[in-house]
Amino acid sequence: MVRTSRDTCQNQTLLSAANIYITTALRAVLLHNGVDVKAKYPGCCGMPQFEQGKVKETVKKAEKVTEVLSKYIDEGYDIVAPVASCALMLKKEWPLLMPGHAVRF
């Protein structure tokens, strides 16, 4: 079944060489299946800082990334994070760190 929704990849290519291959492969698979892809990487999800207890710094990063990605959500795109730890932050940790925030990933 070909997915018809539009997806935005939170592009992690700046983090490591391995992630370049992951995001390139993910993008190729999505495009092959007819998915409209827009690759965006507005910044780190903040997990490294969160693991060090730097909650305020993590919230700042979350707000920055949310500001960029929320525009794509409003346009009907889904968010696809090719790195599992980043997906965890967006889906589980950010709502706890920013409980009054309207955007839900």
> For the chain, which residues make up each domain, given as ranges?
6-97
Confidence check: pLDDT of 81 > 90: no
Range name among 18-27, 58-67, 79-88 with the lowest pLDDT average: 18-27
Strand segments (E) across the chain? 6-10, 37-40, 77-80
Q: Which one is predicted more confidently, 21 or 51?
A: 51
Confidence check: pLDDT of 103 > 90: no
Note the pLDDT tens digit of each residue in 9-30: 444 334 455 577 888 899 999 9
Confidence check: pLDDT of 2 > 50: no
* 61, 49 Cβ separation under 8 angstroms: yes
Report the C-alpha gap between 83 and 50 in whole angstroms.
16
Handedness of CA 50, 87, 98, 8 (dihedral sign): positive
